Amino acid sequence: MKKILFITTRNPYSGRFSGDVIGSLKIINFLKKKNQVDVVTLYRKKTELKKRIVYFKSPNYFLKIFYVLHSLLRLKPLQFGLFLSKKMKAYVKKNAKRYDLLFFYHIRSSQYLPNNYKGSTVIEMGDLYSSNYYQTFCNLNIFNPLKYVYLIESILIKRVENRIFQSFNKIILFSKNEIKKINKIFRKKIYNVNISIKSVQKKFTYSLKNNKILFIGNLGYLPNLLAVKDFINNSFFLIKKEIPDVKFLIIGDVSKLNKFFFSFKKDVIFLGQQNNIKKFIKNSICGLANIKIATGVQGKVLTYMSYGLPVVCSKKVASNFKKNIINYNNNNDLVKKIVNLKNNKKLSRKFSNKSLKFLKEFSEEKVCSKYLKIVSLNK
């Protein structure tokens, strides 16, 4: 049994419907099976607080602006400033020697690694965010000021990634494709660990009456927002010509402004955060992942698959799922693929079964054993 300090910048116990919140909590629970795990994190509201966790208040709005500008001047990523707590940094530095291992969740938590720390370290990077941000830069309009923010952030994050590959003992990534890219530059052992999915009973059942297209994802994340906008503006009305009663359901956080903007679109329904999505799987045609900006393995795709729901996704997303999902070449092809799933029982069942079979590698038991093995290894 090891004594582990788990460091994350978003509270795993907040209950938010967010990939990094859900993911960090799963890893903590995995590690606790054979280790003593203490958690240090930031919080936004007092209602998030739980016992036996070390919390530090997330900086207020004005302090965040100061920290972001300070990060920029020091050529550090903007998100380092957004998630900086000097008190939390001091706490980690003071207490690091009490632990056998420091476990960092997400690249932005790497800023809490004490200078000249010689102990054992693990970082769960998830994806290569420099690639993600550069893709976002390429996909935004030249008149959108965010385009240049993402360019700057991609460059600054790349510097941090390179430093992590040299300084951390153990590095975890979701995608084998990304690990191959890194190994061409750095001779570093990088561990491939999948996102874990809780096995669920199959809830999807084909019927000609199925009339819902499901999208899961917080729209505060720009690639999700761009994907939803693109589908509503360029594809949904074409699908409605073929399936008049079709509805587009979006599960996840959405700003009031975006919700208002899309409120004029018929049969586009924003459901907000949902703890139980089983009822929305019923009567669905497919799960949609039409994201053009993607790195690693998309959690939304695994969620769809865990319910046996056929998945339609962009080629960018499809690269990590082989032939177990349906990908498309262009907008007209996307419309055609969804309409075919609606009308073709054999095709729908084929990809439903493929989804469930593919997920065996993502079981909580297998993923848990990988994490426990990684932290048990010596440097």
| Mean per-residue pLDDT over the chain, rounded | 88
Tens of pLDDT, residue by residue over 236-260, are 999 999 999 999 999 988 888 888 8
Rounded to two decimals, what is the model's pTM? Answer: 0.84
When pLDDT is cut at 50, 70 and 90, the band that residue 48 belongs to is low
How large is the average pLDDT for residues 202-222? 89
Query: How would DSSP label each residue in 278-336?
Result: HHHHTTEEEEEE--SS--S--HHHHHHHHTT--EEE-HHHHTTSTTSSEE-SSHHHHHH
**For the domain 3-196+363-376, what is the CATH superfamily, name and number?**
Glycogen Phosphorylase B; (3.40.50.2000)
pLDDT score of 61 more than 90: no
- Greatest alpha-carbon pair distance for the chain in Å reads 64
CA distance 174 to 370: 12
Query: How would DSSP label each residue in 152-180?
Result: HHHHHHHHHHHHHHHH-SEEEES-HHHHH
Tens of pLDDT, residue by residue over 316-331, are 888 778 788 999 999 9
pLDDT score of 345 more than 90: yes
Tens of pLDDT, residue by residue over 134-146, are 988 988 889 999 9
How large is the average pLDDT for residues 195-218? 85
Is 212-362 in the same CATH topology as 3-196+363-376? yes
State the pLDDT at residue 91.
95
State the pLDDT at residue 200.
66
When pLDDT is cut at 50, 70 and 90, the band that residue 51 belongs to is low
Query: 19 or 24: whose pLDDT is higher?
Result: 24
How large is the average pLDDT for residues 14-19? 75
When pLDDT is cut at 50, 70 and 90, the band that residue 23 belongs to is confident
How large is the average pLDDT for residues 41-57? 78
Instruction: Look at residues 375, 364, 372 and name the one whose alpha carbon lies nearest to residue 103.
Output: 375
Computed on alpha carbons and rounded to an integer, the radius of gyration of the chain in Å comes to 21
Instruction: Domain 212-362: give its CATH code.
Output: 3.40.50.2000
State the pLDDT at residue 216.
92
CA distance 5 to 197: 24
Query: 221 or 275: whose pLDDT is higher?
Result: 221
CA distance 201 to 50: 31
State the pLDDT at residue 258.
82
The alpha carbon torsion through 197, 198, 202, 204 (nearest 10 deg) reads: -50
State the pLDDT at residue 260.
82
State the pLDDT at residue 319.
75
State the pLDDT at residue 196.
82
- Where along the chain do its domains lie? 3-196+363-376, 212-362
Query: 45 or 169: whose pLDDT is higher?
Result: 169
When pLDDT is cut at 50, 70 and 90, the band that residue 379 belongs to is low
State the pLDDT at residue 201.
62
CA distance 235 to 312: 13
- For the chain, give the percent of residues with pLDDT over 90: 50
pLDDT score of 296 more than 80: no
How large is the average pLDDT for residues 61-67? 88
Tens of pLDDT, residue by residue over 89-146, are 999 999 999 999 999 999 999 999 998 888 899 999 888 888 889 988 988 889 999 9
The H or E element that residue 151 is part of is helix 146-167
* Contact yes or no for 35/28 (Cβ under 8 A): no
